Amino acid sequence: MRWRCTCAYDGTDFEGWQSQVGGNTVQDTIEARLGAIFKRPIRVHGAGRTDAGVHARGQVFHFDADWSHGSQKLLSALSASLRRDIQITSIAGVNVSFHARFSALRKRYVYRFYLGQASPFETRYCWSVGDRSMDLVATEQLAQRFLGTHDFTALAATHHDGKTINPEKTLYRLEFQQEGKKLQLIVEGSGFLYKMVRTIAGTLLQVGRGALTADYVWDCLEKKERREKIVTAPAHGLCLDRVFYAKNFLQNV
């Protein structure tokens, strides 16, 4: 039996999603709980890795295990004695052709800025960028140009594990929403290069602040040159908001 789970986590005190030596990751924590329930090692597969400090409201993962007591009881068992910075928000049986990563059509990230100094209650979840004014028109215009399919080499870090990855990615949505001093950037795409969302966020902020021009950034993009002036926004402002799948995978089995 295959199970699709959704979870939320405060990434502050984790070394990211993906399992690693030392074990202080979200994946390791969930696998430890599943191991305790099923009395054998269970491997979970996440929709995407999140870096150390990055949060999630809608991370999705799947795993295979036999369980005859229904999904609600599995949710309770999995949630029991879990650290309070992880929450399992849903669990459902799915067809075995479902794969949290390979079946994903699209992912949505939200990058949160605070135009000033965020309070101690918000500072873990947004980047406080001070109260200098932002030219949101300039940033919106550049954001519009990023939509569609481009080679995003200039706006990503060199991939850390050395694998060759197709640098062409498609962005479907890139939108700012502001409420008082809270400014958030919503990014939806087919997939993302390493640190690409945080680099887009940092770059759009620099353009809004007048530190970079949109033409400069576009020139980097076209020449596929990662330059020093391109800034990557810090991890703690980023949140994996939602992963989208085809409808047939969302039916419970």
List active site positions.
Answer: 51
Half-sphere exposure of 82 (CA within 13 A, CB side): 28
Shortest distance, CB of residue 87 to a copy of itself, whole angstroms?
5
Interface residue with a copy of itself, options 45, 49, 57, 99 (CB under 8 A):
57
- Binder among 18, 29, 87, 232 for a copy of itself (CB under 8 A): 87
Helix (H, G, I), strand (E, B) or coil at 45: strand
- Determine the size of the site formed for a copy of itself (CB under 8 A): 17
Are 65 and 38 in contact by the 8 Å Cβ rule? The answer is: yes
* Least distance between a copy of itself and beta carbon 90 (Å): 12
Residues 105-134: x where in contact with a copy of itself by CB under 8 A, - otherwise, as a string:
------------x-xxx-xxx---------
Q: Which of 2, 33, 55, 242 binds a copy of itself (CB under 8 A)?
A: 55
Query: Binding residue for a copy of itself (CB under 8 A) from 51, 85, 140, 151?
Result: 85
Instruction: In whole angstroms, give the CA distance from residue 24 to residue 85.
Output: 12
The CA distance from 193 to 196, in Å, is 5
CA distance 16 to 54: 7
Nearest to 151 by CA among 215, 186, 196, 201: 196
CB of 86 to a copy of itself, least distance (A): 6
Phi, psi torsion values for 100, nearest 5 degrees: -55, -35
Give me the residues that bind a copy of itself (CB under 8 A), please.
8-10, 55, 57, 79, 84-87, 117, 119-121, 123-125
